[in-house]
Amino acid sequence: MNKPAILLVVGVLIFLVSLLADAFGIGEGTGIGWKQITGSLIGLAVAAIGIVQMVKKKGSGPEA
C-alpha cells in the first residue's frame, strides 16, 4: 500500500470514529460535540491530502 492510500484510509477511519464515538461508547453521549466535529474535520483533511497525492501521482506518469 502506498503512502497516499494509507493517508486516505487513516483519514476516513478518523472521520468515522469521530462521528460514531457515541455509538462506540467513547463519546460524551450528548449528540455531536465539538471534539467530534474537530476530529471529523481532521479526518476529512487527512483523507483529502491522500486523494490529492493520489491524483498528483497518477498524473505525473509518463505520457503515452
- Domain segments of the chain as ranges: 3-58
Distance CA 64, CA 55 (A): 17
Band (25; pLDDT cuts 50, 70, 90): confident
Cell numbers representing residue 34 in the block: 465539538
- Higher-pLDDT residue of 63 and 3 is 3
What pTM did the predictor assign?
Answer: 0.82
- Assign 26 a pLDDT band (cuts: 50, 70, 90): confident
Q: Higher confidence at residue 52 or residue 61?
A: 52
Sign of CA dihedral 42, 6, 27, 32: positive
